[in-house]
């Protein structure tokens, strides 16, 4: 295993005392020391598990497997392929709040989760068939418990009757895909408010009394005399395909706030004789009903009724009287074409009405002549083309109106008359081409407006006048969009979508004083005039999609001159280079998400190191599809507050050994998602680090693959490569370290003794005898002396100037044997294989570098291969760099590695205008000769 030398803290005196020519010998000493240091563990990983804090990155589930949480929970663990439950849980942190397990564990033993006293949510997809009575002991804070089996129904589950009694704070329990026929008299905790049985083998509601005897029969967990104190908030029996009967007295004594029977063939008339004392909400989604269930609604005086995705195409006036108590009714996806004239008058309590995905178009006709108390109306996706004048005049209390997904093409103030209490208006994804002046004047209370996905080409601030406190605004067009001031002064949130360009016409220095959230999605965002400036003094969340990094250019940027309070930046570019990306204007940035940029191919781009150096307060860093190619400690230097690091969709990524210096300060969570690494032993520290002590959770390395080169499609698992090629058994390491240290100490004492000069001569004689014994001379061990790498643009200079100077025979020259790809590679030979073989059979590699060479994929690849040989086999490989023109060394691939492995004498600059050419050639020949001799000495 070979790891960079800078991972150890070594006495400066000892370093100075080591002769430069003994570097290969000194590397042999450092190698086992580094191997022993790599055994120190600073990280941990749980196989097939994801551990995280959802509060750090809101869209973490986009990158890694996630455990669905309830509001207020953040610390989670999600594990798949679980077969040995104790072994899996051994690597899960004890303080998690939510745990999701998927796998095959037929029996849950006693005290299965006793170590997780902070657990509040437990979701089990384990194919469990039996649960021990004490399986949930110690879970005193558990609030949500779920058994899920998503295979075809159903799996039998045995649950002892007292299993749940210890869960004093259990709020909800769910069984999905399970048959509980073998479980009887299960005692539900008195704290329970949500009970779910989905995809079960229930055929009638009568069975619930046998399963949960304390569910009804007049049982009251609080012994409250008030009849309206429900034992259960929600009873969800959805998707029980065989549930067709209720049974007399099936729910006797039960108080329910909500009953969900979605996707069941149950005849709701049976609920009248079920003994149910109270029901407030009934959901019958996708049950095939074709008329309103007036008898059930009237009997229980329901407050909410959900009839979505059914076959109710017509509503008659005679169906309405029994609905008088409804406050909420949902009739989405029913193919309704018209509401009866007396609809609103028959439902005086109605507050929310969902009529989306029906056929109320092309012209909207709502019942008139009655002033309704309706507050929320959803008319989305109804094929509406026209809103008549005063269409909503009978709805003076309306506060939310949803009209998205229709075919409305124009709007005027007459269309919205009578909506003076309206606060939220959604007109997104219509075919709006014209907004008439003053169209919002009837809406003085409006605070939220959504007009995304329109055909508008121009939006002026005058079109937004009328509302006094418009604070949330979403603008968008499928065409190019010009936006003109004045802006609403109370604006808190702004979202703008347009393709291909958005033109902001602003007055110079115009501020968005209170804007806190800004989202821009466009390929090109332009300020007009160009020298204008916009100020965002209160901006805290910024999301950019498809924009060029030029929007952050400095000092030319006038779109974001300063963002003093910005904390969250989510920036997905349009696969452009990272040129001009500067974040020094965001001193308080805590969350940074960058995606779809190129930090590698464009030499003018800023480096990731330069970008991150400007945001020292960063706590969350998510990098996706950035073509990073290599990460070193310099990339993250200064990010001492970083808590989460995520790398996604990276190709051919190298982890520099210098990252080991960062191990004690690694973030709490490191995620690798869909990352392909380079197969190199320089990353051998990763395996031991990722499986050690609990300072950092590392995800994704177990499934990651690595590639030896660009044509390697073997999909070698990264950790498998590191363990088989770069690591040894710990016991053998200990023996090897001790043996080599003792041996080297003895040799150091012998070589340091001035009284024994014959030792050097003896060493030379031994080498000569060894080579003679093997039947070959030192030079015959290699086919070439020098492999020369160069680009096509520099070929003429190499052939005319460099090659004659190096191949010149003695005594005028050294007569070096050169390997030139265009001259010495065979016809039809694979260039990649030939390059690797030629470097292996050459005593040293000479890379001729110029600006053209740095842009050449083959030159970059040959430099990468030479660097790989240099690092992976220190002392056995040599590399010399020849610069034809002045080049910033930091532009070189693996620059940080080269600075540690190359000496000053390994860099050559070609004299300009032929000055001192002969002296330069002589120095180059001597250095190449010396490099060859050093490699021969180390090989010996």
Q: Please state whether the peptide bond connecting residue 486 to the residue before it is cis, i.e. omega within 30 degrees of 0.
A: yes
Could you give the CA distance from residue 469 to residue 491 in angstroms, rounded to a whole number?
8
Yes or no: say if 570 and 544 are a contact pair by the CB < 8 Å rule. yes
Q: State both tokens at 893.
A: 């691939």
The pTM of this model reads 0.72
Question: How far apart are alpha carbons 717 and 447 in whole angstroms?
Answer: 54
CB atoms within 10 A of CB 251: 26
Domain at 42-201: CATH code: 3.80.10.10
- CA 852 to CA 859: how far, in whole Å? 9
The per-residue pLDDT for 4 is: 35
pLDDT of residue 26 exceeding 70, the answer is no
First CA to last CA across the chain, in angstroms?
Answer: 20
pLDDT digits over 29-45, tens only?
A: 333 333 333 333 345 67
Q: For 865-875, what is the mean pLDDT?
A: 75
The superfamily in CATH containing domain 783-939 is Toll/interleukin-1 receptor homology (TIR) domain (3.40.50.10140)
Is the CB of residue 452 less than 8 Å from the CB of residue 427? Answer: no
Q: How far apart are the C-alpha atoms of 458 and 477, rounded to whole Å?
A: 9
Ramachandran angles phi, psi of 695, nearest 5°: -105, -35
The residue with tokens 């994704």 is 700
What pLDDT digit, counting tens, does each position of 143-167 carry? Answer: 999 999 987 778 899 999 899 988 9
User: CA–CA separation, 693 vs 866, rounded Å?
Assistant: 35
Q: What is the DSSP string of 910-929?
A: PPGGGTTHHHHHHHHHHHHH
Residue 900: pLDDT band by 50, 70, 90 thresholds? low
More reliable by pLDDT, 33 or 300: 300
Spell out the alpha helix ranges (H) of 713-801.
Answer: 718-725, 730-751, 758-773, 795-797
Tell me: cis bond preceding 396? Omega within 30 of 0 counts.
Answer: no
* Dihedrals phi, psi of 96, to nearest 5 degrees: -70, 155
Residue 756 has pLDDT above 90, yes or no: no
With contact defined as beta carbons under 8 Å apart, do 314 and 290 qualify? no
Q: Give the separation between CA 417 and CA 442, rounded to whole angstroms.
A: 6
Triad 186, 67, 258: Cα angle to 5°: 50
* Averaged pLDDT, 459-463: 89
Q: Contact, 669 vs 53, CB < 8 A?
A: yes
Which residue bears the tokens 């012998």? Answer: 750
CATH number for region 284-439: 3.80.10.10
Which whole number is the average pLDDT over 331-345?
92
Q: Residue ranges of the alpha helices (H) in 205-363?
A: 207-211, 294-300, 343-346
What is the reported pLDDT for 914? 55
Q: Are 77 and 99 in contact (CB under 8 A)?
A: yes
Q: What is the largest CA-CA distance in the chain?
A: 119
- For the cut 90, the answer to whether the pLDDT of residue 223 exceeds it is no
252 phi/psi in degrees, rounded to 5: -60, 130
Q: Report yes or no: 615 and 633 within 8 Å, Cβ to Cβ.
A: no
Residues 6+ apart with CB under 8 A from 557: 550, 551, 582, 585
76 DSSP β-pair partners: 52, 98
Segments making up each domain of the chain, as ranges: 1-38+628-745, 42-201, 284-439, 447-534, 540-599+612-626, 783-939
Six-digit token string for 686: 């990763």
Measured between alpha carbons, how far is residue 353 from residues 341, 427, 915 in Å?
16, 17, 88
Instruction: Summarize pLDDT for 509-543 with one digit per residue, the tens.
Output: 677 889 999 999 998 888 888 777 888 899 999 99
708 — pLDDT class (breaks 50, 70, 90): confident
> Measured between alpha carbons, how far is 179 from 592 in angstroms, rounded to an integer?
47
Most confident of the following: 688-697, 801-810, 837-846: 837-846
Q: What is the pLDDT of residue 520?
A: 94
Q: Is the pLDDT of residue 757 over 60?
A: no
Let me know if the fold of 42-201 is the same as that of 284-439: yes
* Residue 24, CA distances (Å) to 799, 906, 928 in order: 33, 16, 17
Cβ atoms 230, 257 nearer than 8 A: yes
The alpha carbon of residue 272 and the mean position of all alpha carbons in its chain are separated, in whole angstroms, by 51
- The conformational region for residue 57 under phi > 0 = left, psi -120 to 50 = alpha, else beta, is beta
**What is the rounded average pLDDT of the residues 210-230?**
56
Q: How far apart are CA 167 and CA 787, in angstroms?
A: 73
CB contact at 8 A, 125 and 150: yes
The backbone torsions φ and ψ at residue 598, rounded to the nearest 5 degrees and listed phi first, read -125, 110
């Amino acid at each position: 295993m070979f790891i960079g030398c800078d991972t150890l803290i070594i006495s400066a005196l000892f370093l100075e005392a080591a002769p430069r020519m003994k570097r290969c010998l000194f590397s042999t000493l450092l190698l086992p020391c580094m191997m022993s240091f790599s055994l120190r563990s600073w990280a941990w990983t749980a196989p097939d598990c994801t551990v995280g804090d959802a509060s750090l990155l809101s869209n973490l589930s986009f990158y890694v497997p996630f455990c669905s949480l309830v509001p207020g929970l953040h610390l989670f663990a999600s594990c798949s392929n679980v077969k040995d439950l104790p072994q899996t849980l051994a690597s899960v942190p004890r303080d998690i709040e939510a745990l999701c397990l998927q796998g095959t564990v037929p029996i849950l033993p006693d005290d299965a989760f006793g170590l997780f006293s902070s657990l509040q949510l437990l979701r089990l997809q384990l194919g469990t068939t039996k649960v021990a009575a004490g399986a949930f002991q110690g879970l005193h804070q558990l609030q949500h418990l779920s058994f899920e089996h998503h295979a075809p129904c159903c799996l039998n589950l045995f649950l002892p009757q007292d299993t749940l009694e210890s869960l004093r704070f259990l709020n909800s329990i769910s069984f999905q895909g399970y048959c509980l026929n073998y479980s009887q008299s299960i005692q539900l905790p008195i704290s329970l408010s949500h009970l779910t049985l989905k995809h079960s083998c229930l055929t009638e509601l009568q069975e619930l009394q046998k399963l949960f005897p304390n569910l009804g029969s007049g049982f009251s967990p609080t012994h409250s005399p008030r009849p309206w104190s429900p034992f259960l908030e929600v009873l969800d029996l959805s998707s029980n395909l065989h549930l067709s009967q209720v049974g007399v007295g099936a729910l006797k004594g039960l108080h329910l706030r909500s009953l969900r029977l979605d996707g069941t063939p149950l005849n709701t008339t049976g609920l009248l004789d079920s003994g149910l004392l109270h029901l407030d909400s009934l959901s019958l989604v996708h049950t095939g009903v074709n008329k309103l269930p007036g008898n059930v609604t009237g009997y229980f005086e329901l407050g909410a009724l959900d009839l979505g995705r059914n076959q109710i195409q017509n509503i008659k006036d005679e169906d309405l009287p029994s609905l008088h108590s409804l406050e909420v009714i949902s009739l989405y996806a029913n193919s309704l074409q018209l509401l009866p004239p007396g609809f609103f008058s028959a439902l005086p309590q109605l507050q929310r009405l969902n009529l989306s995905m029906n056929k109320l178009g092309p012209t909207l006709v709502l019942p008139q002549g009655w002033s309704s108390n309706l507050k929320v109306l959803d008319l989305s996706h109804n094929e509406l083309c026209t809103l008549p004048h005063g269409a909503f005049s009978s709805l003076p209390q309306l506060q939310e109106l949803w009209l998205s997904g229709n075919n409305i093409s124009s709007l005027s103030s007459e269309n919205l008359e009578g909506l003076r209490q309206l606060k939220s208006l959604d007109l997104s994804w219509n075919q709006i081409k014209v907004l008439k002046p003053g169209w919002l004047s009837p809406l003085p209370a409006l605070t939220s407006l959504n007009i995304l996905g329109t055909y508008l080409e121009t939006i002026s601030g005058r079109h937004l006048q009328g509302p006094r406190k418009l604070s949330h605004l979403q603008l968008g067009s499928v065409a190019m969009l010009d936006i003109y001031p004045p802006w609403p002064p109370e604006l808190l949130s702004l979202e703008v979508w347009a393709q291909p360009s958005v033109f902001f016409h602003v007055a110079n220095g115009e501020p968005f004083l209170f804007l806190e959230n800004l989202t821009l999605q466009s390929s090109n965002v332009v300020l007009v005039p160009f020298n204008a400036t916009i100020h965002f003094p209160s901006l805290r969340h910024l999301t950019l999609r498809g924009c060029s990094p030029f929007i952050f250019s400095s000092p030319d940027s006038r779109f974001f001159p300063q963002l003093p309070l910005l904390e969250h930046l989510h920036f997905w570019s349009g696969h452009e280079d990272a040129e001009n990306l500067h974040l020094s204007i965001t001193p308080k940035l805590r969350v940074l998400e960058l995606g779809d940029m190129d930090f590698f191919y464009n030499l003018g781009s800023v480096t990731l190191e330069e970008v991150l150096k400007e945001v020292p307060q960063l706590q969350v860093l998510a990098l996706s599809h950035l073509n990073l190619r290599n990460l070193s400690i310099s990339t993250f230097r200064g990010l001492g507050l970083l808590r989460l690091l995520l790398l996604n969709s990276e190709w051919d990524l190298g982890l520099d050994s210098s990252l080991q210096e960062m191990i004690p300060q690694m973030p709490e969570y490191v995620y690798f998602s869909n990352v392909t690494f380079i197969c190199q032993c320089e990353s051998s520290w990763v395996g031991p680090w990722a499986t050690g002590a609990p300072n950092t959770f590392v995800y994704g390395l177990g499934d990651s693959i690595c590639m030896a080169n660009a044509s390697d499609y073997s999909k070698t698992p990264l950790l498998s490569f590191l363990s088989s090629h770069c690591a040894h058994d710990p016991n053998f390491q200990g023996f090897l370290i001790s043996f080599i240290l003792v041996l080297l100490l003895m040799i150091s004492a012998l070589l340091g003794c001035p009284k024994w000069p014959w030792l050097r001569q003896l060493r030379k004689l031994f080498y000569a005898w060894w080579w003679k014994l093997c039947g070959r001379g030192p030079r015959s061990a290699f086919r070439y002396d020098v492999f020369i790498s160069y680009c096509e643009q520099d070929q003429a200079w190499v052939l005319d100037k460099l090659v004659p100077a190096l191949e010149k025979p003695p005594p005028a020259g050294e007569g070096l044997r050169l390997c030139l790809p265009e001259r010495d590679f065979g016809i039809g030979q694979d260039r990649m294989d030939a390059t690797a073989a030629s470097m292996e059979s050459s005593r040293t590699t000479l890379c001729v570098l110029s600006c053209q060479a740095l842009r050449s994929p083959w030159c970059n690849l040959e430099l990468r291969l030479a660097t790989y040989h240099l690092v992976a086999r220190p002392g056995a490989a040599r590399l010399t760099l020849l610069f034809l023109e002045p080049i910033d060394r930091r532009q070189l691939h693996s620059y940080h590695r080269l600075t540690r492995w190359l000496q000053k004498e390994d860099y050559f600059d070609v004299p300009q205008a032929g000055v001192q050419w002969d002296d330069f050639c002589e120095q180059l020949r001597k250095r190449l000769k010396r490099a060859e001799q050093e490699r021969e000495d180390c090989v010996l």
